[in-house]
Amino acid sequence: MARTAKKVETLIAEDPAMADALSVIYERTDEGSDEVQWQDVNDDLTSGQWGRLIEKGILEDGIHGFELSDPDEVADALDDSGTAATTTTTSSSSSDVDDMESTSWSMWDKLAAVASIGLFLGYSNNTIKAAVGSVVNVVLGPIDHALPFYIVIMIVSMLTGLYTTLLQDNLMDMEKMSMYQERMKDIQERQKEAKERGNEQEMEAIRQEQMEAMGDQTGMFKEQFRPMVWSMFITIPAFLWMYWRIGGHPTPVVPSHIVLPMIGETAWKAGVVGPMMAWIVWYFLCSMAFTQLIRKALNIQTTPT
């Protein structure tokens, strides 16, 4: 198979909308005999499609614009793909990543976000802290009575690590995240190559594609923040209970001190890492350790490939 035809068929196999894009260019160049510029086809092609055709060498620099590297092979490849090369087709399809930008939160996600913000106020409001702490104490109180406080914190950190990992696994679409990152990486690589070639027209098309891809950042933020909202909704009450148990509960914590690595024996409320109190440091140490163990044990991936 000729080289240009193979490139065309590969592009169409990766993205069927490229067949429509090439059909438009084939017609606008009068079956390959004329040149074409971006402004001639930007109503029917996305900047990403235009950039891919230049990147693959199907469109080459001409005198005043771009020309098809081998119009006959392009026509043959389009015919083999079941697309009439002389038919004008408007490309209305978007890439998979563009489709994924419509990721939206449900009503429950939004309610969880509002509730998390309200619970967050409990860190600075003793009334909210005491109210939330008293409610959570119904669940954690029996464990607190039966075990030393440092073990209670270990149990709480293990539970928060477990449900945080499960929430990330179920609510975050790693395939979407990977596609977002792959698209941005592809744009950066093509931009670098265009800059090295000094192709200002291609660089302008890629810059427009970068502007369109800004929606990817919003999509990535939504994907990352959704499980975080639900995690905060459950974790903040547990944190407020520990705050209340250390500073607002009438019964003293037993034992009254803890021995931390590289720090030694210290009071629960003593600042050991800047303003961070000993119990918070102990919680984070346990949480990081348990979270890693849980991810390994359940073979859960929480970062995109």
pLDDT of residue 153: 94
Taking only Cα atoms into account, the Rg of the chain, rounded to an integer number of angstroms, comes to 29
Contact assessment for residue 230 and residue 167, using Cβ atoms and an 8 Å cutoff = yes
DSSP for 183-245 reads HHHHHHHHHHHHHHHT-HHHHHHHHHHHHHTHHHHHHHHHHHHHHHHHHHHHHHHHHHHHHHH
pLDDT of residue 103: 56
pLDDT of residue 101: 46
pLDDT of residue 104: 67
Query: Could you tell me the maximum CA-CA distance found in the chain, to the nearest angstrom?
Result: 89
Can you give the pLDDT of all 305 residues of the chain as single tens digits? 467 777 888 788 777 888 888 888 888 888 777 888 888 888 888 877 888 888 788 888 878 788 888 888 888 777 776 543 333 333 333 344 444 444 567 888 889 889 989 888 888 888 888 899 999 999 999 999 999 999 999 999 999 999 999 988 888 777 777 777 787 788 888 888 888 888 787 788 888 877 777 766 676 777 778 888 999 999 999 999 998 998 877 787 877 888 887 888 888 888 888 888 999 999 999 999 999 999 888 888 766 65
Beta bridge pairs of residue 60:
67
CA distances from 22 to 65, 117, 124, 277 (A): 16, 50, 61, 63
Contact assessment for residue 232 and residue 116, using Cβ atoms and an 8 Å cutoff = yes
The amino acid occupying position 215 is: G
pLDDT of residue 89: 33
- Give the integer Cα–Cα distance in Å for 229 and 29: 52
Give the torsion through C-alpha atoms of 114, 116, 117, 122, to 10 deg.
140
pTM over cut 0.85: no
Residue of 161, 132, 42, 133 whose CA lies nearest to 91 = 42
Give me the residue label for tokens 């369109």.
Answer: 212
Q: Which two tokens stand for residue 142?
A: 């029996």
Rounded to 5 degrees, φ, ψ at 251 are: -95, 125
CA distances from 42 to 5, 120, 236 (A): 24, 48, 50
